[in-house]
Amino acid sequence: MSTVRDATFDFLRRRELTDIFSNPGSTEIPFLTGLPDDLNFVLGLHEGTVVSMASGYALGRRRPSFALLHTTPGFGNAVNAIATARVNRTPIVIAIGQQDRRHIAFEPFLAGRLEGLAGDYPVWVSQPSRAQDVVGALERAYHEAETHRCPAVVIVPMGDWLEEAGEPHEVAAPQRVLRPGAVDAESVAALAELLDRSAQPAFVAGARLDTPERWAALVALAERLGAPVYQEPFSGQAGFPQDHPQWAGPLPFLRPQLRETLAPYDLVVAVGAPVFRQSTYEPGPFAREGTVLAVVTDDADEVHRSPAELAVLAAPELVCRELAERVAQRPRPERALFQRPEPPAADAPLRAAHVLQALGDRLPPDAVVVEECPSNRDELMLRLPARQPLGLVSPAMGGLGWGLPASVGLRMGLPDRPVVAVLGDGSTVFGVQGFWSAARYGIGPLIVVLKNGGYRIMDQLAARQGGAPAWPSFGAVDIAALAEAFGCEARRIADAEALGTTLDEVVPTLRNRTAPLLLEVTVEAD
Ligand SMILES: Cc1ncc(C[n+]2csc(CCOP(=O)(O)OP(=O)(O)O)c2C)c(N)n1
Ligand SMILES: [Mg+2]
């Protein structure tokens, strides 16, 4: 007899989901015991780490990944990572184990109240009505995840796995989904008219543009118009080459500074981004009166919430390509629009700027930099430009604990590219189990921790609020010892010379590394 479990193995093979990111419990035993050899089980020691690794893997491979979690405890632990995956537009099929249907009415041990547990962060949540519908639900979750670039969840009662498989004609999902991009003449004409009328247009590139085709399309349009291209605030990925002469830097995340930055322009077109994601509230509009705001994106949510004069819901690369053909060539700027800061003076004590500059001087153009260092994020954007797609990846929702495990998943998905995570010490502790998976499975990201001894960004916010922080620093937390406890090699660095010689030795190894390495760099708090 072929079982639901067998049919699920075939689903995983068919959809290239044979790497199973998981932390299992008793509800997953029937599925996982005696797993066929062609399925690769990847253990994470906490479910936040499991889903963050799956997230990095999906981003790196640009296709859905698969995670298997343990009923309420596993799903609950993973909610932050699932929310991050949603905001980072990461497709993940997540199966969640549940108690057996045959006695769930008695609320047995580990019976989960699962459907609403992650709110609407998963784009789709389903508990199939019958065991025989599990595979159809997984197939549908795969399509939902891919279409919306979000996590999608299927809840599977543990007794279902060994039930008889359903009939193929009962699978409520297509075998193939094609998603043709198209753009109509009317949309192009409406945007072309705005651009023709504009004396000073500017673009804002969003994370959705982080593919080679999309970078190229916006480059072509921006070069045609000689217009600056800013990066959307809090972007999870770079939408434009950050070493291009027309790259104008990241947009501010507070409205007064945003208005000031956008003041020279009479038209601002956000491409692959909404208008606009900001940090704390400040009154007033996003842009001065007289600046027309427009949006071009294939994310309906971004379109629907943007206070724009015109929004076009379409594949941005198609729109940009058509527009580039259509608009007149204008002069291009004579010098690079964005001036990178000078290297910091080589004095003691070591600061984050020194570390980021030292990395920037050495990393090859195809390096993948994972950012999770809150008080040094701006500095990182200045000194580590994304020069190729996936050159910058960061947790766009703001939840910490993603960067370390995501760098492990990215390196698994991109085995030919150097991967470097730059993390705050506080951030590292939220995802510390990632060290173990990297070491156990021979995955070699470089993890650089900026050890400033506390939650510096929070201290800065408290100072801006005019008071003392309620929370203490945690200066004594020994990150290198934590990494070593999980089996990851670690080095402690406290001066510029040691930093330079270590990076000279380590950076050339990054492309072929099969073991993770932590550099714990003690820096002065900024
Ligand atoms: C899971 C989670 N808990 C709490 C926060 C709130 N938070 C934002 S920044 C921050 C401190 C980060 O510290 P660290 O990584 O050391 O960076 P630093 O500010 O020192 O640069 C905290 C706790 C969060 N974003 N995510
Ligand atoms: Mg810190």
The per-residue pLDDT for range 389-432, each reduced to its tens digit, is 999 999 999 999 999 999 999 999 999 999 999 999 999 999 99
Ligand 2 centroid to residue 422 C-alpha, Å: 12
pLDDT at 64: 98
Contact 371, 422 (CB under 8 A): yes
Which of 237, 230, 235 shows the shortest CA–CA distance to 211? 237
DSSP-derived 3-state class of residue 229: strand
**Nearest atom, ligand 1, residue 460 CA:** 19
Q: Ligand 1, from 400, 461, 474: best to mutate by most atoms within 8 Å of Cβ? A: 400
Q: How far apart are CA 44 and CA 53, in angstroms?
A: 8
Ligand 1 centroid to residue 374 C-alpha, Å: 6
Contact 476, 428 (CB under 8 A): no
Ligand 1 near 234 CB (within 6 A): no
Ligand 2 centroid to residue 401 C-alpha, Å: 13
pLDDT at 475: 84
Ligand 1 near 373 CB (within 6 A): yes
Ligand 1 near 398 CB (within 6 A): yes
Q: How far apart are CA 193 and CA 327, in angstroms?
A: 9
Which of 238, 302, 239 shows the shortest CA–CA distance to 274? 302
Is pLDDT above 90 for 7? yes
pLDDT at 228: 98
Ligand 2 centroid to residue 397 C-alpha, Å: 19
Q: How far apart are CA 294 and CA 292, in angstroms?
A: 7
How far does Cα 182 stand from its chain's mean position?
26
**Nearest atom, ligand 1, residue 428 CA:** 15
- Point out the ligand nearest to the CA of residue 374: 1
Range with the poorest average pLDDT among 15-29, 294-308, 464-478: 464-478
Residue 441 C-beta-side C-alpha neighbours within 13 Å: 24
Q: How far apart are CA 52 and CA 58, in angstroms?
A: 10
Ligand 1 centroid to residue 142 C-alpha, Å: 32
Ligand 1 near 457 CB (within 6 A): yes
Closest CA to ligand 1's atom 10? 455
Which of 460, 461, 516, 513 shows the shortest CA–CA distance to 484? 516
Q: b or e along 261-284 (b: 16 or more beta carbons within 10 Å of the residue's beta carbon)?
A: bbeebbbbbbbbbbbbbbeeeeee
Strand partners, 152: 93, 124
Contact 158, 290 (CB under 8 A): no
Omega of the bond prior to 36 within 30 degrees of 0, cis? no
- Point out the ligand nearest to the CA of residue 452: 2
Is pLDDT above 80 for 347? no
Ligand 1 centroid to residue 454 C-alpha, Å: 9
Q: Ligand 1, from 87, 376, 378, 457: best to mutate by most atoms within 8 Å of Cβ? A: 457
Ligand 1 near 455 CB (within 6 A): yes
CA distances from 289 to 229, 281, 282, 292, 310 (A): 21, 19, 17, 8, 16
pLDDT in tens, 139-181: 999 999 999 999 999 999 999 999 999 999 999 999 999 999 8
Ligand 1 near 80 CB (within 6 A): yes
pTM for this model (two decimals):
0.97
- Token pair 């960061």: residue: 394
- Point out the ligand nearest to the CA of residue 373: 1
Ligand 1 near 84 CB (within 6 A): no
- The dihedrals phi and psi of 66, each to the nearest 5 degrees, come to -130, 130
pLDDT at 72: 98
- Point out the ligand nearest to the CA of residue 376: 1
Ligand 1 near 355 CB (within 6 A): no
Ligand 1 centroid to residue 406 C-alpha, Å: 17
Closest CA to ligand 1's atom 25? 399
Q: How far apart are CA 10 and CA 388, in angstroms?
A: 35
Q: Ligand 1, from 455, 456, 474: best to mutate by most atoms within 8 Å of Cβ? A: 455
Contact 189, 319 (CB under 8 A): no
Ligand 1 near 453 CB (within 6 A): no
**Nearest atom, ligand 1, residue 376 CA:** 21
* Ion ligand 2, residues whose Cβ is below 5 A away: 424-426, 452, 456
Ligand 2 centroid to residue 513 C-alpha, Å: 27
Contact 516, 437 (CB under 8 A): no
pLDDT in tens, 443-490: 999 999 999 999 999 999 999 999 999 999 998 899 999 999 999 999
Which of 239, 167, 271, 222 shows the shortest CA–CA distance to 385? 239
Q: How far apart are CA 286 and CA 195, in angstroms?
A: 20
At 343, list the tokens: 């290297």
Percent of the chain with pLDDT over 90: 96
pLDDT in tens, 259-284: 999 999 999 999 999 999 999 999 99
> Which residues, in sequence order, are CB contacts of 379 under 8 Å at separation 6+?
352, 353, 356, 526
Which of 106, 155, 117, 111 shows the shortest CA–CA distance to 133? 155
Q: Is 198 exposed, middle or buried (0-12, 13-18, 19+ CB in 10 A)?
A: buried
Amino acid at position 85, single letter: A
Ligand 2 centroid to residue 344 C-alpha, Å: 20
Contact 90, 121 (CB under 8 A): no
Q: How far apart are CA 141 and CA 460, in angstroms?
A: 42
pLDDT in tens, 355-401: 999 999 999 999 999 999 999 999 999 999 999 999 999 999 999 99
Ligand 1 near 431 CB (within 6 A): no
Residues in the chain: 526
pLDDT tier at 54, thresholds 50, 70, 90: very high
Closest CA to ligand 1's atom 12? 455
- The dihedrals phi and psi of 101, each to the nearest 5 degrees, come to -55, -30
- Point out the ligand nearest to the CA of residue 460: 1
For the residues 90-105, what does the mean pLDDT come to?
A: 98
DSSP-derived 3-state class of residue 233: coil
Q: How far apart are CA 492 and CA 502, in angstroms?
A: 10
For the residues 112-138, what does the mean pLDDT come to?
A: 97
Which of 516, 510, 443, 490 shows the shortest CA–CA distance to 42? 443
Q: How far apart are CA 136 and CA 120, in angstroms?
A: 21
The mean of the pLDDT values for the chain is 97
Contact 439, 404 (CB under 8 A): no
Is pLDDT above 90 for 348? no
CA distances from 364 to 184, 231, 360, 367 (A): 40, 22, 9, 6
Ligand 1 centroid to residue 436 C-alpha, Å: 22
Contact 421, 372 (CB under 8 A): yes
At 104, list the tokens: 């769930």
Is pLDDT above 90 for 346? no
Ligand 1 near 52 CB (within 6 A): no
User: DSSP class of residue 164?
Assistant: B
Q: How far apart are CA 164 and CA 2, in angstroms?
A: 6
Cα dihedral 22, 25, 29, 31 in deg (nearest 10): -40
Ligand 1 near 456 CB (within 6 A): yes
Q: How far apart are CA 272 and CA 231, in angstroms?
A: 10
Ligand 2 centroid to residue 342 C-alpha, Å: 24
Range with the poorest average pLDDT among 57-61, 75-79, 341-345, 442-446: 341-345
Ligand 1 near 351 CB (within 6 A): no
pLDDT at 145: 98
